[in-house]
């Protein structure tokens, strides 16, 4: 059975969104796997969202929906050039629960970017705990997973989520 890229992308997005809502427990979690923008803004999964969103500047778009993550309030998705940041309500305010790279204009601190080869991606992530999920890879620390999707042995998606 052949699965289309669009179907695989939708499945991966739904899975990552589900993990985000289940895993965000309102605690701040420092992690070695932290996305950093070209301007040096660290976007850490589990961190308080407001100061980070302010440092990132005006997003291109903001979407919201009622939260299904266990806390009353709204979930937000802030879209920037090359990445999106998702937040969810927690004790004391919003926290970062997901960062998704959307094109090849940004890289992770480890050097991952959309479009790079699988071999180069694996080399860049050497030393991190890795799990193979189908053709995709999931790197993790104690609190964060960095999910890397592949298509034709090239990186097609990169998402940071809470464990």
How many Cβ atoms from other residues are within 10 Å of residue 47's Cβ? 18
Burial of 6 (0-12, 13-18, 19+ CB in 10 A): exposed
Provide the residue ranges of all domains of the chain, joining segments of one domain with +. 5-162
Q: What angle do CA 48, 94, 18 make, to 5 degrees?
A: 110
Q: Pick one of 2.40.160, 2.170.15, 1.10.1660, 2.60.460 as the CATH number of 5-162.
A: 2.60.460
pLDDT tens for residues 137-146? 999 988 899 9
pTM for this model (two decimals): 0.79
Torsion sign across C-alpha atoms 58, 64, 68, 70: positive
Q: Tell me the per-residue pLDDT of 107-146, one tens digit each, with 9 for 90 and over.
A: 999 999 999 999 999 999 998 889 999 999 999 988 899 9
């Amino acid at each position: 059975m052949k699965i289309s890229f669009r179907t695989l992308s939708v499945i991966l997005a739904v899975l990552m969104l589900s993990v985000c809502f289940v895993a965000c427990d309102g605690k701040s979690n420092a992690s070695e796997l932290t996305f950093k923008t070209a301007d040096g803004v660290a976007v850490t999964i589990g961190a308080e969202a407001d100061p980070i969103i302010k440092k990132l500047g005006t997003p291109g778009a903001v979407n919201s929906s009622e939260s299904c993550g266990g806390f009353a309030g709204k979930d937000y998705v802030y879209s920037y050039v090359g990445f999106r940041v998702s937040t969810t309500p927690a004790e004391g305010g919003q926290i970062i629960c997901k960062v998704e790279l959307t094109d090849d204009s940004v890289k992770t601190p480890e050097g991952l970017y959309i479009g790079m080869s699988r071999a180069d991606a694996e080399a860049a992530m050497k030393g991190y705990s890795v799990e193979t999920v189908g053709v995709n890879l999931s790197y993790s620390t104690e609190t964060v997973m960095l999910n890397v999707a592949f298509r034709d042995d090239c990186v097609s998606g990169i998402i940071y989520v809470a464990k």
